[in-house]
């Protein structure tokens, strides 16, 4: 039996459901419950009440358009393992009167199948493809609470926040990338509350383990295909290099200490790789060749503030232009002024917000900036990368003002 089960073998489900209704009504109403709710439930109710949701009605959750759902399906890293999940869960869903649901990392339902009768009941709750089932949109529910707790969750009857969900049980578990640990989505089994069986949790656990093992296998097969396709090219190049796929996973390395992943490569965007320095990725078939740029190949960048912020870059003779947000432009100006010593997150927070209490926000903004401009900015401390010269064109200046550069 799983450690997060809502019931134990032999539980009288009808009696337990009646007790939970009294617990729910007492806690939501600010009274003393007959028994304390489970910790995971109490924490979720507290979060949801703080969001101002109403337990007496079905809170709004308009589904995404079918075109957007289909786009998310095509882009989902779980697409390659949907067949395996259907084999484990979908094959018994009809007979067991439950639904198998798979969401993305945002809690949006991308796939749903199972008993037609149960699907009709789920439709009335908005438990449909394209609906977002986070705690913020659907109250305490296994999908949203699993996302909030970053752990598997099983809920029974009135442990759900919305009264309309009390006739249901739901069991959900996150699926993570087996290499990076990145959250990819959630698999959920839901059905009529009084049909809950202790084995449901084990069934969901099995489905998650199978999906993650298959994701590992697909990952290794993709890297092996890339190695085979680039074998001839790799035999003709020398010096330290990496061969990576479109997600930055390393398929081959030469002359550099082992690494599993680098920043996602993009045409015209430099990336910083420990051990290689600033690199200009080169497209190779289905992957990328990542090599250090030439020592003499300094990067000249221009921050144009005459209108909406724009960054222009010339590297290896290839021009590259990208728009920036005002906040990202401000960060670049601060790093340019700091020069080679750079700035810590605390000092950037003080410069941007007037105090040192926004370090988390600063780190998030720097991360977003680096996704746009690649390795032009490095960390520990934050500064312009070696060899990068940044000039600024301001509205009242006819020509660029050279920057001090990081030296």
pLDDT of amino acid 131: 97
The strand order across the sheet containing 99-104 reads 109-114, 99-104, 183-192, 168-176, 153-156
Residue 401 resides in a domain? no
User: Same domain for 164 and 275?
Assistant: no
Instruction: Give all strands (DSSP E) within 31-167, no chain letters.
Output: 99-104, 109-114, 153-156
The angle at the Cα of 118, spanning 116 to 121, to the nearest 5 degrees, equals 115
Residue 7 resides in a domain? no
Q: Which two tokens stand for residue 392?
A: 């600024």
The neighbour count for residue 404, using CB atoms within 10 Å, is 13
- What does the pLDDT look like over 188-202, one tens digit per residue? 999 999 999 888 999
Residues 6+ positions from 58 with CB-CB distance below 8 Å: 125, 126, 162, 164
Residue 355 resides in a domain? yes
User: Same domain for 268 and 330?
Assistant: no
φ/ψ bin of 47: left (φ > 0), alpha (ψ from -120 to 50), beta (otherwise): alpha
* DSSP letter (8 states) at residue 81: G
Distance between CA 121 and CA 109 in Å, rounded?
A: 16
Instruction: Give all strands (DSSP E) within 193-296, no chain letters.
Output: 241-245, 250-254, 271-273, 277-279, 282-284, 287-290
C-alpha to C-alpha distances, 148 to 44, 129, 297, nearest whole angstrom:
8, 21, 46
User: Same domain for 67 and 157?
Assistant: yes
Distance between CA 162 and CA 164 in Å, rounded?
A: 5
User: Same domain for 269 and 195?
Assistant: no
DSSP 102-139: EEETT-BEEEEEE-HHHHHHHHHHT-STT-B-SHHHHS
The C-alpha R_g of the chain, in whole angstroms, comes to 26
- Per-residue pLDDT 10s for the chain (407 aa) are 467 999 998 999 999 999 999 999 999 999 999 999 999 999 999 999 999 999 998 877 889 999 999 999 999 999 999 998 888 887 666 667 889 999 999 999 999 998 888 999 999 999 999 999 999 999 999 999 999 999 999 999 999 999 999 999 999 999 999 888 889 999 999 999 999 988 899 999 999 999 999 999 999 999 999 999 888 888 888 888 999 998 889 999 998 876 788 888 888 777 777 677 778 788 988 899 998 876 445 678 889 999 999 988 765 545 567 889 999 999 999 999 999 899 999 999 999 999 998 898 999 898 888 777 767 888 889 999 877 889 999 887 644 445 555 44
User: Same domain for 380 and 320?
Assistant: yes
Residues 6+ positions from 338 with CB-CB distance below 8 Å: 383
User: Same domain for 269 and 196?
Assistant: no
Residue 386 sits in a domain of what CATH number? 1.10.10
Residues 6+ positions from 71 with CB-CB distance below 8 Å: none
C-alpha to C-alpha distances, 376 to 85, 264, 268, nearest whole angstrom:
42, 14, 12
User: Same domain for 254 and 318?
Assistant: no
**How many domains are there within the chain?**
3
Residue 398 resides in a domain? no
Residue 5 resides in a domain? no
Q: Which two tokens stand for residue 199?
A: 């084995």
Report if pTM > 0.75.
Answer: no
Q: Which two tokens stand for residue 85?
A: 């999940």
User: Same domain for 19 and 156?
Assistant: yes
SS3 191: strand
State which residues form the domain around 267: 230-290
The neighbour count for residue 50, using CB atoms within 10 Å, is 8
């Amino acid at each position: 039996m799983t450690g997060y089960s809502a019931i134990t073998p032999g539980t009288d489900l009808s009696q337990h459901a009646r007790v939970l209704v009294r617990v729910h009504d007492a806690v939501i109403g600010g009274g003393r419950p007959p028994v304390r709710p489970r910790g995971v439930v109490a924490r979720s109710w507290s979060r949801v009440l703080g969001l101002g949701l109403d337990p007496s009605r079905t809170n709004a959750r308009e589904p995404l358009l079918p075109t957007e759902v289909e786009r998310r399906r095509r882009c989902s890293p779980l697409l390659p393992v949907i067949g395996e999940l259907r084999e484990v869960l979908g094959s018994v869903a009809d007979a067991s009167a439950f639904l198998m649901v798979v969401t993305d990392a945002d809690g949006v339902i991308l796939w749903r199948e199972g008993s037609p009768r149960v699907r009709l009941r789920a439709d009335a709750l908005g438990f449909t493809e394209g609906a977002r089932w986070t705690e913020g949109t659907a109250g305490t529910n296994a999908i949203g609470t699993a996302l909030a707790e970053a752990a598997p969750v099983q809920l029974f009857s009135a442990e759900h926040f919305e009264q309309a969900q009390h006739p249901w049980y739901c069991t959900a578990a996150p699926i993570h990338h087996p290499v990076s640990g990145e959250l990819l989505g959630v698999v959920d089994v839901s059905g009529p509350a009084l049909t809950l069986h202790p084995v449901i949790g084990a069934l969901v656990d099995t489905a998650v383990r199978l999906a993650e093992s298959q994701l590992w296998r697909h990952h290794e097969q993709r890297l092996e295909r890339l190695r085979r396709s680039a074998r001839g090219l790799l035999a003709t190049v020398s010096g330290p290099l990496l061969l990576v796929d479109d997600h930055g996973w390393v398929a081959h390395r030469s002359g550099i200490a082992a690494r599993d992943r680098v920043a996602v490569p993009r045409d015209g965007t430099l990336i910083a790789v420990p051990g290689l320095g600033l690199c200009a990725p080169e497209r190779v078939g289905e992957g990328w060749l990542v090599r250090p740029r030439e020592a003499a190949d300094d990067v000249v960048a221009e921050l144009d503030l005459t209108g909406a912020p724009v960054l222009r870059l010339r590297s290896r003779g290839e021009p590259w232009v990208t728009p920036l947000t005002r906040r990202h432009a401000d960060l670049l100006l601060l790093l340019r002024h700091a020069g080679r010593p750079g700035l810590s997150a605390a000092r950037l927070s003080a410069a941007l917000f007037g105090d040192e209490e926004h370090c988390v926000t600063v780190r998030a903004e720097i991360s977003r900036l680096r996704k746009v401009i690649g390795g032009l900015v490095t960390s520990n401390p934050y500064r312009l990368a070696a060899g990068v010269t940044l000039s600024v064109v301001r509205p009242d200046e006819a020509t660029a003002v050279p920057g001090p550069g990081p030296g």
